């Protein structure tokens, strides 16, 4: 299984790091991907350099979109839309962090009800999306989550990870 974590400016590095560690425990190939190779600063100030760009990357089975600022704007960005449309058919699952559902909504990949962090209520009010109170919500192959631990737990549940391993991670 190949997992790609989409890095965007101001991404929630806690979400990115947690799913990268969960993928390591699952024995999955994992990497970061972004529009370009420029280093990106996360929301807490950590600087990550993506391993791959949209153009030069291996095939993906699973995509994780950590939350971050400007997710709606990124969902309208033609480069992000083109890349998502290019990889969409080969993806087995897509997991969205705290407000990653906004990017997917703008890009036309989710509608209706989504899970999102409670602080996204105002951002969601300007959309046709309704926030589910559940920690995660499936819509086809897309799993929107409240982010953070809910994101990692949803991914591990989807992978069928053992209960004792989740306990090891504190989930």
Report the number of distinct structural domains present in the chain: 1
Tell me which residue range forms the domain holding 88: 2-169
pLDDT at residue number 160: 86
Residue with tokens 């559902």: 101
CATH of the domain at 161: 3.40.50.880
pLDDT at residue number 163: 52
Instruction: Decide: helix, strand or coil at residue 125.
Output: helix
pLDDT (tens digit per residue) in 13-34: 999 999 999 999 899 999 999 9
Rg (CA), the chain: 15
pLDDT at residue number 72: 95
Query: Is the pTM higher than 0.75?
Result: yes
Distance from the Cα of residue 84 to its chain's centroid:
12
pLDDT at residue number 121: 85
107, 127, 106, 130: which is closest to 116 by C-alpha? 130
pLDDT at residue number 165: 53
What DSSP string describes 15-84?
HHHHHHHHHHHHT-EEEEEESSSS-EE-TTS-EE--SEESSS----SEEEE---TTHHHHHH-HHHHHHH
pLDDT at residue number 167: 58
């Amino acid at each position: 299984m190949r997992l790609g974590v989409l890095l965007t400016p101001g991404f929630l590095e806690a979400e990115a790091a947690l799913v990268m560690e969960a993928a390591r425990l699952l024995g999955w190939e994992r990497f970061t991907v972004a529009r370009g190779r420029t280093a990106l600063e996360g929301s807490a100030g950590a600087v990550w350099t993506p391993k791959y760009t949209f153009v030069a990357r291996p095939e993906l089975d699973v995509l994780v979109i950590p939350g971050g600022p400007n997710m709606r704007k990124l969902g309208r960005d033609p480069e992000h839309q083109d890349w998502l449309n290019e990889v969409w058919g080969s993806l087995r699952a897509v997991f969205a962090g705290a407000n990653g559902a906004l990017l997917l909504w703008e890009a036309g990949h989710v509608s209706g009800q989504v899970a999102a962090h409670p602080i996204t209520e105002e951002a969601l009010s300007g959309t046709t999306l309704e926030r589910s109170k559940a920690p995660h919500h499936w819509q086809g192959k897309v799993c929107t989550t409240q982010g953070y631990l809910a994101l990692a737990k949803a991914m591990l549940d989807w992978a069928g990870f053992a209960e004792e391993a989740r306990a090891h991670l504190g989930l």
